[in-house]
Structure 1
Amino acid sequence: MTSTPNTAPANTTPASYSYLGPAGTFTEAALKQVPAAVGARWKSVNNVGEALDDVTTGRSIAAMIAIENSIEGGVSATQDALTTVPNLRIVGEYLVPVNFVLVTRPGVALAGVTVVNAHPVAYAQTRRWLDAHLPSHEHVPASSNVAAAATLLETKQADAAVAPPGITEHYDLDVVATEIGNNKNAVTRFVLVTSRTELPEPTGADKTSIIVELPDDAPGRLLEMLEQFAARGVNMSLIESRPIGDALGRYRFVIDLEGHIRDERVADALLGLKRFSPNVIFLGSYPRADKLATTVTPRYDNDVFVEARDWLRAITTSEPSAAASEPSATMNEASIPEQ
């Protein structure tokens, strides 16, 4: 038995949000955190490419997609899609704890489980528990976490399934074990992607996501790229390489920076990066999900960059800078000759 979330009345045409379905996935749990999505139509899709296609064609105003997992690292399918699909912007990020339950058809006890249906990634993240409690079990791969559970009601190929905790809201199944994940602190990071170009306002707790290509494979190129951030006090919270695909040894880098593009240090770093790299893709500046404020060393404050620009402008325009236009009492007194 399944349910469709946020179904609007037939006489309205609410905005649509695409997410990796069906109902009950971790992606749906991330979309539930978006206030603007309440009351909207939620469109279940099969993969990241379909979700982003909905956005670029206007079928949906935004799509929720997974971009990073604390265990597996970056989601390569998402990173590659964001590189190849133009005119996309990330406008928010959302964190979803990743744990799993073991479900069975009604009436099937844990002791009767011999075959477990599970998505390969979910199976890898629950293998320790399964081996400890069901040492002789067999594994049947599933196409998704929700599909693993749904199959129990369609066939008797498996006795149990590894599924998300909220699966029983959508399917008539029994939970026979909870918190079976190998890592209790596992988290998946999701991003809300749109085609709108408006930037969310800086909050002081922001991230900026970019994709950068090195100009060539000469020695020290990666160091040159990193120096653009280090020289301006910009911290990276993520950096991962992905093959460009045109030749061996050619990579692009997916990077998350701490700060907003309207922060002077971040803007200056991106200008330096643009001069260095043949291809810089700006994916967006948006509030951090954890709301942790960015710590900035005083010499990289916004005022320092503004003051430096004023100093340079004063030199190039022959106009006195604000600091230079204020007379020095000490100098003035020293310049008066004795009578």
Structure 2
Amino acid sequence: MEFAYLGPRGTFTEAALRRLPAAKGATTTPMSSVAEVLDAVRRGEVDAGFVPLENSQEGTVTVTVDELVGGEPLVIAGEAVLPVTMVLASEKTADGITTVASHPHALAQVRGYLRRELPNATAVNALSTAEAAQRVLVGEFDACICAPFTAEAAGLPVQAFNIGDNPNAETRFVHVVRPCPPPEPSGNDITSLAVYIDHDQVGALLAVLTEFAVRGINLTRIESRPTGEALGRYAFFLDCTGHLADARMGEALMGLRRICADVRYLGSYRRDRSDDPVPAPKGLSDTDFTAAADWLRHLRDGGRP
């Protein structure tokens, strides 16, 4: 397989890609933006893409969500979660640093450090932490915020270690492919969806949430994103526990299809977590759904109540 990922080489994305089981032995190709990666997947130039989706401190990588919600359909086939450790890399010491470059999410995760230690330095956005390191090397900026392995690869000295405001920060990355059947259920899965509701209907979002609640499906993420049609027009990006093959998930999706303006299925895939999966509530396991369907079929066939 060939994977495209958000480059250049030496980024957090490349480090997370090494953790992805599906990428073992694959050819990897760095690209300059999330949109470029996903377009390469859509055109069939690569087999899969790998891009950041969200950070535990800064939230959504909006370009990724917007591409998945609004672009030509793609599905998520897997994820990898990477702990994020930040360093300040530079040939200069703190008193000689006037500009600090990095990806916007990385800069946001060290706001406190920059205010305390480099209050007079100007923060500059770069396409990635690795690109920022390269621009420091050629003298365009004085310093960069990046991972320790990025600084090492670039040959930049580290002036300060572990400078993130949140020591437990982590970023979630997703493996994206063209529409295809999902991986087999693992028992610890996520299903991702984009839901479009009728904004003129009172209680439309409540109706969506009810489809999950009555079937014991937990929503782990819900976020609204503008559709671009007009002010007040939003799609909702959802992550929920369970797999497309689960009976309760299937019923929930059929319910959404009946009541929503549109539903985009974005994939079912194994969670990159060691958390024990939460069992289905009583009456909502696949066995319970099968037994109920058999009972109804029996009644429709004229059997004894």
Task: Return closer, same or farther for 1:188/1:282 CA change in 2, 3 Å cut-off.
Answer: same
SS of the equivalent of 1:298 reads coil
Q: Which residue of 2 aligns with 1:132?
A: 116
Q: Confirm whether residue 191 of structure 1 aligns to residue 174 of structure 2.
A: yes
Q: How far apart are residue 235 of structure 1 and its match? A: 0.6
SS of the equivalent of 2:294 reads helix
How many residues were matched structurally? 304
Give the one of 120, 139, 154 matched to 2:138. Answer: 154
Alignment-mate amino acid for residue 49 of structure 1: A
Give the one of 172, 177, 182 matched to 2:155. Answer: 172
Cα distance between partner residues in 2 of 1:245 and 1:97: 33
Q: Which residue of 2 aligns with 1:63?
A: 49
Cα distance between partner residues in 1 of 2:73 and 2:116: 48
Q: Confirm whether residue 318 of structure 1 aligns to residue 276 of structure 2.
A: no
**Which has the higher Rg, Structure 1 or Structure 2?**
1
Cα distance between partner residues in 2 of 1:266 and 1:125: 36
Cα distance between partner residues in 2 of 1:218 and 1:251: 13
Worse-superposed segment, 132-141 or 36-45: 132-141
Worse-superposed segment, 32-41 or 173-182: 32-41
Alignment-mate amino acid for residue 24 of structure 2: V
Aligned-residue sequence identity (percent) comes to: 42
Q: Confirm whether residue 42 of structure 1 aligns to residue 28 of structure 2.
A: yes
RMSD: 1.8
Task: Return closer, same or farther for 1:220/1:86 CA change in 2, 3 Å cut-off.
Answer: same
Preserved contact between residue 259 and residue 294 of structure 1 (Cα < 8 Å)? no
Alignment-mate amino acid for residue 162 of structure 2: E
Per the normalisation by structure 2, the TM-score is 0.93
Give the one of 262, 287, 302 matched to 2:270. Answer: 287
Q: Which runs of 5+ in 2 are unaligned?
A: none
Q: Deviations over 1:7-49 (max 9, x none)?
A: xxxxxxxx31000000111111111112332332211112222
Q: How far apart are residue 116 of structure 1 and its match? A: 2.3
Q: Which residue of 2 aligns with 1:301?
A: 285
Cα distance between partner residues in 2 of 1:117 and 1:84: 30
Preserved contact between residue 129 and residue 150 of structure 2 (Cα < 8 Å)? no
Cα distance between partner residues in 2 of 1:232 and 1:40: 39
Q: How far apart are residue 244 of structure 1 and its match? A: 1.6
Task: Return closer, same or farther for 1:113/1:86 CA change in 2, 3 Å cut-off.
Answer: closer
Give the one of 18, 23, 27 matched to 2:13. Answer: 27
Q: How far apart are residue 169 of structure 1 and its match? A: 3.9
SS of the equivalent of 2:8 reads coil
Q: How far apart are residue 99 of structure 1 and its match? A: 2.5
Q: Which residue of 2 aligns with 1:90?
A: 76
Q: Which residue of 2 aligns with 1:73?
A: 59
SS of the equivalent of 1:282 reads strand
Alignment-mate amino acid for residue 278 of structure 2: T
Preserved contact between residue 64 and residue 191 of structure 1 (Cα < 8 Å)? yes
Give the one of 255, 266, 275 matched to 1:272. Answer: 255
Alignment-mate amino acid for residue 67 of structure 1: L
Task: Return closer, same or farther for 1:68/1:118 CA change in 2, 3 Å cut-off.
Answer: closer
Instruction: List structure 1 runs of 4+ shifted beyond 4 angstroms.
Output: none
Preserved contact between residue 70 and residue 227 of structure 2 (Cα < 8 Å)? no
Worse-superposed segment, 116-125 or 179-188: 116-125
Cα distance between partner residues in 2 of 1:140 and 1:272: 47
SS of the equivalent of 1:300 reads coil
Q: How far apart are residue 214 of structure 1 and its match? A: 0.6
Cα distance between partner residues in 2 of 1:220 and 1:98: 39
